[in-house]
Structure 1
Amino acid sequence: MMQYQDEAQLLLDAVGGRENIMRVTHCVTRMRFVLRDLALADKDKIQKITMVKGLFAQAGQFQVIIGNEVADFYQTFIALAGIEESSKESVKEAAKDNMTMLQRLMANLAEIFSPLIPAIITGGLILGFRNVIGDIAFFDEGTQTLVDKSQFWSGVHAFLWLIGEAIFHFLPVGITWSITRKMGSTQILGIVLGLTLTSPQLLNAYAVAGGAEIPFWDFGFAKMNMIGYQAQVIPAMLAGFALVYLERFWRKITPEAISMIIVPFFALVPTVILAHALLGPMGWIIGSAISQVVYSGLTSAFGWLFALIFGFFYAPLVITGLHHMTNAIDLQLMAEFGGTMLWPMIALSNIAQGSAVLAMIMLHRQDKKEQQVAIPATISAYLGVTEPAMFGINLKYGYPFLMGMIGSGLAGLFSVATGVMANSIGVGGLPGILSIQPKFMLLFLIAMSIAVIVPLILTLGWSKRVKN
C-alpha cells in the first residue's frame, strides 16, 4: 500500500492539508472528501497528480477519481494524514453542512428512496418481461401471445406477479420503513405502519379510483373510510414522518424505565389513526394533483415543449441532486395511470451523456490517461449511471455536456410526441428499453438512436470547429 505514499502526500497537500479535511471515505473508484473550505483545494495541482483521473464537487462532497486502486490508495492516504477511517454515511451527514437548504432536502429525499431502488428496478424488469410474454402477440399471425401458446409461460407469467405485487402494491411498506431507517427511529414500527396502509381488509386503491363503494369503520359518533394506499407515495411519506416525530416526542418526555411500553404504543396508534383519517386522504389529493399536472403537461398540445425542456435540463438536475424528486413523481404516475412517460426521458438522458463521452474517446484516443476515465464512464452512462461521464469528462470540456443535453432534449421530444410509456422505473441507459411497454418499444428504439447519434455528431463537429 505504501507504494502510493508520494501520490498520497501530493493529494493531501493539494486539498489543503489535514486541517482542511472533516471526513474522507471512498467508493468504487473515487475518494470522497468533506472539506472545511473548498477554496483551499488546488484543483490544478490535483489534476496533475498521476493517479488522479478527474475531480468534481457534488452534494457537499469534493470527489477525486482515482480508479480501481482507490481502496489501497485510501488506506495509504489516511495513514499518512493521521485521519480515522470514515463510513459513507458519516461523510454524507458531514457533507450536509456544505449544502443549501434545498440541497439538504433533496439529499434526504434521495436517502429515503435509494434503499428502495434495487427492488423497484427488479419490479420494473419483471413487469416488462411479463408484458413481453403476455401482451405481445408473436404467434398465429399476431393473434396469440407466448402465454396463450404455452402453459409453462402462462405459469411463469402468473408466478412473477407475486413479486411485482409485493414490490409495487406494498411500496408504502418500503417507504415507511426507509423513513424510520433514515431518521433513526424504530424500523419495525415503520414496517407495521406501512402494512396498515396496504392491508387486504382495506378497499384497494385502484378499486377506489374505479368508483367502487367504499366501506368504513363506524365508531358511532364518527365514520372513517377503509381505503388502502397501495402503490401510493405521498400518503406513505406523510405517515412515515408523522410516526418519526411522534416517536421522538414521546421518547423525549417518557422516563426510560417505561419507554418500551409507552413510546411504541403512543407513537404507532395515533399515527395509524392520523394516516387513515387525515394524512392518507390529504396525501392522495396531493399525489393525484402532482401526477395530473405532469401527465397533463406531457399529453397536452405543449407536451413537446415540456419534453424538450425536461430532456434538456435533466442532466443539470443530476448535478444539483434535484433529479431524485422524479422517483416520487414516476411512482405516482405509475399508480395513477399505469405507467410513466418521465422514465423513458431519463434513460435517454443517460444515453446522450454517454454518447458525448464516446465522441471524446474517439477524439482523444491517444490520451491514455483520459481513456482510463472515459471508457468506463461511457459504459457506466450507457448502463444508467451518468456521474462519471459528466464529472469525469463532459463538464471538464463543457461542450460535450451541452451536446449531450441537446441530444437528450430531442430524444425526449420524440419519445413524448409518440406517447412512449414505461411500465415503471427500471434500469437506465440502453437497458431502459426493458421497462418500456411493448407497444412502444420500436418507437423507443428510434428515440435511443437519436440519443446516441445526435450528441456523437454534435460533439465531433464542435470539436473540429474549436480546433479551427
Structure 2
Amino acid sequence: MTQNYAQDAQTLLQLVGGPGNISAVTHCMTRMRFVLVDPAKADIKDIEALPSVKGTFTQAGQFQVVVGNGVSDFYNEFTRVAGVQGVSGEAAKEAAKQNQNPLQRVMTNIAEIFAPIIPAIIVGGLILGFRNVIGEMRVFGDGTQALTELSQFWNGVNSFLWLIGEAIFHFLPVGIVWSITRKMGTTQILGIVLGLTLVSPQLLNAYSVPTTAPGDVPFWDFGFAQLPMIGYQAQVIPAILAGFTLVYLERFFRRITPQVVSMIVVPFFALLLSVIIAHAVLGPIGWTIGGWISGVVSAGLASSFNVLFAALFGFLYAPLVITGLHHMTNAIDLQLIADTGGTNLWPMIALSNIAQGSAVLAMIFLQKRDTQAKEVSVPAALSCYLGVTEPAMFGVNLKYVFPFFAAMAGSALAGMYSIATGVVANSIGVGGLPGILSIKVPSMLNFAVAMLIAVVVPFIITWVVGKQRGLDKVGAVDSVQADGLQMPTPRG
C-alpha cells in the first residue's frame, strides 16, 4: 500500500527554503537530492523531525534527505506540491558542482566514472568467490580434494563461470573508457573501440608480461621504430588516461572541423590518434603509475606499521564515505587486483560496513519498545549488512552520534585483525556479510573472525553507552546540544 506523503512533502518544501531556493531536485534509490541556491536556509533539525525522513547530509554539493525505499513516491508528491520540474541525476550533479571545491570535484568525477561499472565488478567478485568455494576449498577426500575434482558438473560450472569473470576483469578497460566518454558526453562507441584496442587478443596479455623475456615480447615494426604489442588487461590508470585523451581529442577536432565533414573527420582522427598515443605513450606511463600506487599501498599494508595503518583506515573509512573521498578506493582496489591478484584493502571496507550495521542492531534492541524508531533502524540494519550503509549511517548512527563512533572503533579493531592475519580478497564484492564470498579461501576463516569483531565490538559499545543514556526506556527521545553535536537524552 502506497504511503501518503502529501503533508510531509509540503512541509519539506517550506523547510528547504521554498521553490525559489531549489536549483535542482532529483532522487536516487533511497534519497531526495537537492541543489539549493542557499544551503543555509535548510532547517535541518525540523526536516529530520518529519515522520518520512530518516536523516539528512550534504555531499558533493547536494543536500540529501534520506527517505528510504518509498523515495520515488515521495519525489513525485514533492514535485507536484512544489510545482518544480525534477531533473535527471546527471543534471543535478552538474548543478551541484557549483557548490564544490576543487578536491570535491575531482572525487565526484572519479565516482561518476566508476559508478556505472561497479555492479559488474560486484558480480565478478561474487563469481570469483563462488569459483573459489567449489574449486579451491579442499574439504573432500580427507581434505585433499575440491568439489570440482569430484564432480564433472561442478568442474564444468567452474570453467563456464570464468567466461563471465574474464569478461568483467580482463576487459575492465573497455568499461572504464566507455564510462568516461559517457560521462563527458562524447561518442560512446569510440570509447568502447578504444577500450577494446587495449585488451585485444593480438596483444601480449598483461598477466603474461612479467614472466615474458624482453626479447620474446611481440612488436609492431614500422621500419624506423618498433612498438611493443602489450595489452592492458585489468589495468585502471592506462584506461583512464586513454579515455580522457579520446574525449579531448574528439572535442578538439569537433571544434575545428567543418560541420559538413565532421562525421568522417572527427571520429577518424580522434580514435586513430588516441590508439597511437595510448599504446606508444600513455599505456607504459599509466602502467608505471598504477604500479607505483599499488606498490605504495601494498608496502604500507605489508610494512611493520601495517596494523597501525589498518586501524587508521578502519577508523576513518566511514567518515570518508560522508565526504565522498572513499570513491578513490575503487581505483586502488582494482589496481591492486591487477598487479597482485588480490586486495587486502577491500576486506576492511566490508568490515566497516558490517560495523555500522552492528551499531544499528544494538539500537534496535535498545529501542525495542519504540515502534517509530524501529521503522527506521530495522530496514537500515538489514541494508547495511547487505552492503548499503547510507540508511544506517544517516538515519540512525549519525543522528545519535555515539553509535557512529562505536562502529568506527569496531571497524578499526576488525581491520587490524584482518591485516595482521593477511586476509586477501579476490575482488570487490558485496560490502557486507555476503562479502566473505569474495575472500580468498585461505583467508575465509580469519575474515569470519574479523566479521565477528565488527559485529560484537560496535554492538557492545553502543549497548553500554545507550543504556547509560537511558535509550532503553519506553518512549522517544529529545535532543540536546552537547559539544556541538546532536546528542539524545531520555524523556521522562
Task: State the TM-score bracket (shorter-chain normalisation).
Answer: over 0.9
| Corresponding residue of 1:79 | 80
- Identify the residue that residue 9 of structure 2 maps to in structure 1: 8
1:320 aligns with 2:323: yes
Q: How much has 1:78 moved relative to structure 2? A: 1.6
Partner of 2:207: 206
Q: Give the superposition deviation at 1:147.
A: 1.1
Point out the more displaced range, 373-382 or 211-220: 211-220
What is the DSSP-based 3-state SS (H/G/I as helix, E as strand, rest coil) of the residue aligned with 2:47? helix
Comparing 208-217 and 422-431, the one that deviates more: 208-217
C-alpha distance in 2, partners of 1:25/1:130? 40
Secondary structure of residue in 1 paired with 2:388: coil
The aligned counterpart of 1:394 is 397
- Residues 225-374 of structure 1: pairs in structure 2 closer than 5 A: 225-374=228-377
Q: For residues 45-99 of structure 1, give each alpha carbon's deviation from its aligned partner in whole angstroms, at most 9, with x where no partner exists.
A: 2233333332222221112233444333322322222111222221122122111
> What is the CA–CA distance in structure 2 between the aligned matches of 1:79 and 1:252, rounded to whole Å?
41
Residue 29 of structure 1, CA deviation: 3.3
Corresponding residue for 1:160?
Answer: 161
1:170 matched to 2:171: yes
Larger mean Cα displacement after TM superposition, 327-336 or 88-97 = 88-97
1:414 aligns with 2:417: yes
Cα distance per residue 1:191-246 (max 9 Å; x no partner): 11011111111111111112332111111111111110001000010000000000
**How many angstroms apart in 2 are the aligned matches of 1:86 and 1:341?**
39
Range 250-259 or range 57-66, more displaced: 57-66
Instruction: Give the match for residue 480 of structure 2.
Output: none
Q: For 1:11-22, what aligned pairs fall within 5 Å after superposition?
A: 11-22=12-23
**Given that residues 53 and 369 in structure 1 are in contact (C-alpha distance below 8 angstroms), is that contact kept between their aligned partners in structure 2?**
no
In 1, distance between residues paired with 2:164 and 2:69? 35
Q: Which ranges of structure 2 fall in alignment gaps of 5 or more residues? A: 471-488
Q: Which amino acid is the alignment partner of residue 331 of structure 1? A: L
How many Å apart are 1:103 and its aligned residue?
1.1
SS at match of 1:224: strand
Query: Are 1:24 and 1:31, in contact at CA under 8 Å, matched by a contact in 2?
Result: yes
Partner of 2:30: 29
Give distance in 2, aligned partners of 1:132 and 1:412.
23
Deviations 1:108-128 (A, max 9, x none): 111111111111111111111
Equivalent position amino acid for 1:259 in 2:
S
**Structure 1: how far apart are the matches of 2:410 and 2:124?**
29
The answer to whether the 8 Å contact 1:147/1:153 transfers is: yes
Q: Distance in 2 between matches of 1:7 and 1:160?
A: 48
Contact 1:224/1:277, CA 8 A, preserved across alignment: yes
Is 1:102 aligned with 2:103?
Answer: yes
Distance 1:395 1:41 in 2: 18
How far apart are the structure 2 equivalents of 1:300 and 1:214? 34
2:27–2:75 CA contact under 8 A, matched in 1: yes
Asked if 1 retains the 8 angstrom alpha-carbon contact of 2:54 and 2:396, the reply is no
Instruction: Say if 1:171 and 1:4 are closer, same or farther in 2 by CA, change over 3 A.
Output: closer
Q: What TM-score do you get using the length of structure 2 for normalisation?
A: 0.92
TM-score normalized with structure 1 length? 0.97
Aligned-residue offset at 1:424:
0.5
1:237 and 1:137 map into 2 onto residues whose CA distance is 39
CA offsets 1:119-176 (integer angstroms, 9 cap, x no match) = 1111111111111111111211111111111111111111111111111111111111
**Which residue of 1 is the match for residue 477 of structure 2?**
none
**Alignment check: 8 A CA contact 2:138 2:144 kept:** yes
Q: Offset of 1:4 from its aligned partner? A: 3.9
C-alpha change, 1:444 and 1:193, in structure 2 (3 Å) is same
Equivalent residue, structure 1, for 2:381: 378
Structure 2 residue aligned with 1:124 = 125
In 1, Cα distance between equivalents of 2:273 and 2:223: 19
Give the whole-Å Cα distance in 2 for the aligned partners of 1:30 and 1:177. 27
Aligned length: 468
Contact 1:53 1:372 (C-alpha < 8 Å) held by counterparts = no
Residue of structure 2 in register with 1:221 after alignment: 224
Give the Cα–Cα distance (whole angstroms) in 1 for the partners of residues 318 and 90 of structure 2: 25
- 2: CA distance between counterparts of 1:201 and 1:69? 50
Following superposition, the deviation at residue 3 of structure 1 comes to 5.3
Following TM superposition, by how much is the alpha carbon of 1:345 offset from its aligned partner in structure 2, in angstroms?
0.4
Conserved in 1, the CA contact under 8 Å of 2:376 and 2:395?
A: yes
Q: Is the 8 A contact 1:54 1:391 kept in 2?
A: yes
CA RMSD of aligned residues (A): 1.5
1:386-440 Cα offsets, whole Å, 9 max, x none, are 1111111111111111110110010000001000000001111100000000111
State the partner residue of 2:483.
none
Distance 1:291 1:38, change over 3 A: same
Aligned equivalent of 1:432: 435
Q: Is the 8 A contact 2:362 2:459 kept in 1?
A: yes
Q: Any idea what SS the aligned residue of 2:313 has?
A: helix
Which residue identity lines up with residue 127 of structure 1 in the other structure? L
CA distance in 2 between counterparts of 1:312 and 1:296 reads 20
Alpha-carbon shift at residue 357 of structure 1 (Å): 1.1
Report if aligned partners of 2:54, 2:394 keep a CA contact under 8 Å in 1.
Answer: no
Q: Percent identity?
A: 67
Q: Distance in 2 between matches of 1:261 and 1:69?
A: 48
Unaligned runs of 5+ in 1: none
Q: Does 1:454 align with 2:453?
A: no
Q: How far 1:383 sits from its partner (Å)?
A: 0.7
Tell me how far 1:2 sits from its aligned partner: 11
Q: CA 1:30–1:341 in structure 2 vs 1: closer, same or farther (change >3 Å)?
A: same
Q: More helix by proportion, 1 or 2? A: 1
Q: Could you tell me how far apart the structure 1 residues matched to 2:384 and 2:417 are? A: 21
Q: Distance in 2 between matches of 1:3 and 1:46?
A: 17
